Amino acid sequence: MEKHASPIIAVYPGSFDPITNGHVDIIKRASGIFDRVIIAVAEALHKNTLFTLKERLDFVEEAVKDMENVEVKPLRGKLLVDFCKEVNASIIVRGLRAVSDFEYEFKLAWINRRLHGDIETVFLIPSEEYAYLASSLVKEIATLGGRVDGLVPKNVAEALYRKKEEIKRKGTGEVHEQSL
């Protein structure tokens, strides 16, 4: 059918400060469904991020290096729907954890549809073990001297341990990410 003649490209946006195994879980699922997945790492100026955009991009790159149809790009100074148009994506992928994500994600999906009606938001649910995992949570654990092994990729865990004092100064940045 003509509908499937062109490859389906999906964008997975977020601040990824830093990438967690919950994000990786969603990326793997998306990569199995769509022809191409582009991870859009938002500059997220309002979030006072712990890691620079470059560091966040590098961590994501490392985490997806074996996934052939996945690529990583920065999202800076533009609407997500405009980014999607530029890369010919017709799908926005978001992850849904417990009920707490629902209202915010519903609002975002609605506004993105208003801004660009042809782009659909698709929600994916992670494996149960990651259902409560968030970047802000791993930062909080690391600040208090806890172990984050198994929650984030190994290189990210090491970086978090190194940044312990900086997280204390900056906080965990738990505000909603740039998704517009």
Asked if 138 and 151 touch (Cβ cutoff 8 Å), the reply is yes
CB of 174 to ligand ATP, least distance (A): 5
Rounded CA separation 122/124 (Å): 7
Binding part of the chain for ligand ATP, among 16-24, 54-62, 145-153, 158-166 by CB under 6 A, reads: 16-24
Site for ligand ATP in 127-146 (CB under 6 A): 130, 133-136
144 Cβ contact list (under 8 Å, min separation 6): none
Number of H helices, E strands in the chain: 7, 5
Restricted to residues 78-97, the positions that interact with ligand ATP (CB under 6 A) are 94-95, 97
Q: Which of 26, 38, 50, 160 binds ligand ATP (CB under 6 A)?
A: 26
**Catalytic (active-site) positions:** 23, 47, 97, 135
In order of 95, 121, 145, the CA distances from 106 in angstroms are 12, 9, 35
- Give the footprint of ligand ATP on this chain (CB under 6 A): 14-17, 20, 22-23, 26, 94-95, 97, 101, 126, 130, 133-136, 173-174, 177
